[in-house]
Structure 1
Amino acid sequence: MRRIAVVGAGQAGLQLALGLVADGYEVTLVAERTPEQVRGGRVLSTQAMFGPALRIEAAAGLDLWADRAPAVHAVRSVLAAPPGVKALEFTMTLDDPAQSVDQRLKLAHWLELLAERGGRIEYRSLDRDGLRALARRHDLTVVAAGRGELAGIFERDAARSPFDRPQRTLSCLYVHGVGSPDPATEPRARMHALPGLGELYLQPALTLSGPCDILLWESLPGGPLDAFGDHPAPDVQLARMRALLAEYLPWEAELWRQAEPTDALAGLSGAVTPVVRRPVAELGSGVDGVHVLGLGDAVVVNDPITGQGANSAARAAEAYRRAIVEHGDAPFTADWMCRTAERFWQRHARHGVRLTADLLGMPDHLQAVFAAAAEHRAVADRFANTYAEPSDHEAWLATPELTAAYLASVRG
């Protein structure tokens, strides 16, 4: 039986470990926190999961919250220009419903499930030396830890990294009690774009205490929405969000009068630098050297503006699992690692990176898409489903010429 180590207990690492255990591999997962610590910790992300990623989880028996998590079929989008005034408003419909499950709930349960199914879990931190020792004891070691010292072992790929600094500061908060602009409709996400200032996303979700909403501010650094750099407690965070809503999105502020944080650790503030790293790292050299393979946000980090993080991680884990199984008994060489990661980059990851970069920069042809979406439902729906299937970006959003041709075909 081949022995595989996975480092990191996020979406990608746990999904890969569970999949390989089901395939009959001897799997060791290294996680920094126990299920109890995960459940009792701070929220980790916003994690809207689209149809393709949910189908991967369902096929593996891991979509365990479909009967409890709100099924989001549509996104209500508003362009606020100038601030406080609705310039455009339209609804985008997803082909398949999206779902968001608090990762404290999801990952803690998956950790327990891995132990029940025969995976070995080591609860500890690893440095480079510890990782090298782990890799020498296994046929393959996959690193799915996107933060800390281990993320630094994978070199930044300058040619594929569109940015060298954060493009937004981020503040998310899980809350109960948010109103709906149209209570008769099914749960919807809401998106507000404020040109030159940032974006606001509201995502129905499931948390430890039941259904909730997640509010995510995407603020241009140094702008008036960039008000959470001191990492305030959730109650303070909510008060500041209410003040911003009242000034910039007053119609939304009305819906937040009864809102309250879901728990004392329901808030998260910070910033990420979108980056693409080289997927294979060598620890040591010569006969004593070992190679490890990067997965998920150890390799690709996107700003959450397009919701690609957890979706790309799920797809990457499944792509790696298939590649490992198809490789049979052959050695997991550095060349095989590079080919495996490059195949996933070409088929999927590059499209999410480009889509995210475009949404952050909002070039003129993408602004034209927003204007057309307000007039043509087909444009709005295709835009929504490009989030779910970012490879479609290459077909109609990648260049001004492609976008103009598509919009002309819709207008007839």
Structure 2
Amino acid sequence: MRKILIVGAGQAGLQLALGLQAQGYEVTVMSNRTADEIRGGRVMSTQMQFHTALQNERDIEVNFWESQTPKVEGLGVSVADPESVHGPGETQRAINWLGMLDGYAQSVDQRVKMSGWMETFAQRGGQLVIHGAAVSDLDFFAKKYDLVLVAAGKGELVSMFERDAERSPYDAPQRALAVSYVTGLGQRPEHPDTEAVRCNLVPGVGELFVMPCLTTTGRCDILFWEGIPGGPLDVFQGIKDPNEQLAKTLELMEEFTPWEYARATKVELTDAGGTLSGRYAPTVRKPVGRLPGGGRVLGVADVVVANDPITGQGSNSASKCAAAYLASILERGDKPFDEEWMQQTFDRFWADVQHTTKWTNAMLAPPPEHILNLIGAAGELQPVADRFANGFNNPADFEEFFYDPAKTEAYLGSVAGG
């Protein structure tokens, strides 16, 4: 029986651990927190997962919360009119539309999912070690296990993985992030019966995302600001009090997205741990970490590909990474997990996630004219809105109509003419 160590208990690490466990592998998961500490801690992300990522969980039968979680059937885009951004309540929308998803999306608070998956892993006989691993620990473990995977995306361990400059166009954070989990959000008047993710774009300022979620106390909504550094939304860094963060979030909504603020006047935080803020530079790293003692470890998910959350792809990429790595490990059989295999395994993941990285980096930049035309046309042509929305599940499709102005023009012409 092959022995595998996974360091990190997030979406990718635990999904992969449970998948390997079901196939008879002897798996150890190392986490720096217990399940109870995770469940009772702060929120960790926004984690909206689209169809492919959800299917990966169904395939290994760990979709425990699917029936309880809001089913997100649409993805809406609103764009503020830059000329109307003057003061609270004055901002108007230049664009507003809703695209329909082919398969629904869902968001389960990672405090719920990761604590539940950890407990399931342990109940099924997996070895769960509560320990904050250092590089020196991995030096020891690399000799004891057939394969060591690093799925802890923060801290000392990430430094083992070299930044891939060719695939990392940004060397500084592109957005300041602020998340609040709330209850009491009113329905949207435009589509009161359709659960949807709403993307509100404020040109030159940033973005507000609003999405339904299942949290520790039940149904909630997430308010998520992404602010351009140094701009009017970059005001959360010094805020420690959760209620103060929510108050600032609502104040900014009133000024920049009053159509969202109108349904948020009675919201309250879900719990004392319901806020998160920070920033990080989007980075792609080389997948093989070299240990001082000569061993090799393989990086997983955001250890090796950390995109900005502007396109909501973090948990989706993590799920896809876990599925790709699971398939690669199973196919390897009894052969050694050597450095060549590690690179090939990452390449299998990169073949998919490269499209996510390209799209995310494009969305961080000011949109060129043909993209503005595309987003505007989606308000008049429902097939365009639907295709854009479904790109969140399959970012590879953006190659066909998004980046190249000629392809965009041809696509819009075909839809309008059809």
**Into which bin does the TM-score normalised by the smaller protein fall?**
over 0.9
Q: What SS does the aligned partner of 1:205 have?
A: strand
Moved more, 175-184 or 14-23: 175-184
Identity of aligned residues (%): 47
Q: Distance in 2 between matches of 1:338 and 1:138?
A: 19
Structure 1: where are the runs of 5+ without partners? none
Q: Distance in 2 between matches of 1:290 and 1:399?
A: 44
Q: Distance in 2 between matches of 1:41 and 1:403?
A: 45
Q: 1:110-259 counterparts in 2 under 5 A?
A: 110-182=117-189, 184-259=192-267
Q: What SS does the aligned partner of 2:262 have?
A: helix
CA deviation after TM superposition for structure 1 residue 96, in Å: 0.6
CA deviation after TM superposition for structure 1 residue 186, in Å: 2.5
Partner of 1:269: 277
CA contact (8 A) 1:233 1:267 kept: no
Moved more, 251-260 or 207-216: 251-260
Partner of 2:88: none
CA contact (8 A) 1:231 1:268 kept: no
CA deviation after TM superposition for structure 1 residue 397, in Å: 1.6
The residue type paired with residue 139 of structure 2 is: R
Q: Distance in 2 between matches of 1:184 and 1:195?
A: 27
CA deviation after TM superposition for structure 1 residue 405, in Å: 1.8
Partner of 1:355: 359
Q: Distance in 1 between matches of 2:240 and 2:256?
A: 21
Q: Deviations over 1:50-106 (max 9, x none)?
A: 001001101111111111110010122211112311111111111111100000000
Q: Distance in 1 between matches of 2:372 and 2:134?
A: 45
TM-score under structure 1 length normalisation: 0.97
Q: Deviations over 1:208-261 (max 9, x none)?
A: 001000010010111111121113322111111121122122222121111000
CA contact (8 A) 1:231 1:270 kept: no
**Within the alignment, does 1:89 sit opposite 2:96 as a pair?**
yes
Instruction: Please provide the CA RMSD for this pair.
Output: 1.1
Moved more, 222-231 or 312-321: 222-231
Report how many residues are paired. 408
The residue type paired with residue 363 of structure 2 is: L
Residue in structure 2 matching 1:280, options 264, 281, 288 = 288
The residue type paired with residue 190 of structure 1 is: R
TM-score under structure 2 length normalisation: 0.96
Spell out structure 1 runs of 4+ moving beyond 6 A.
none
CA deviation after TM superposition for structure 1 residue 398, in Å: 3.0
Partner of 2:314: 309
Q: What SS does the aligned partner of 1:95 have?
A: strand
The residue type paired with residue 236 of structure 1 is: E
Moved more, 250-259 or 4-13: 250-259
Q: Distance in 2 between matches of 1:184 and 1:256?
A: 15
The residue type paired with residue 300 of structure 1 is: V
Q: Distance in 2 between matches of 1:162 and 1:396?
A: 22
The residue type paired with residue 10 of structure 1 is: G
Q: What SS does the aligned partner of 1:159 have?
A: helix
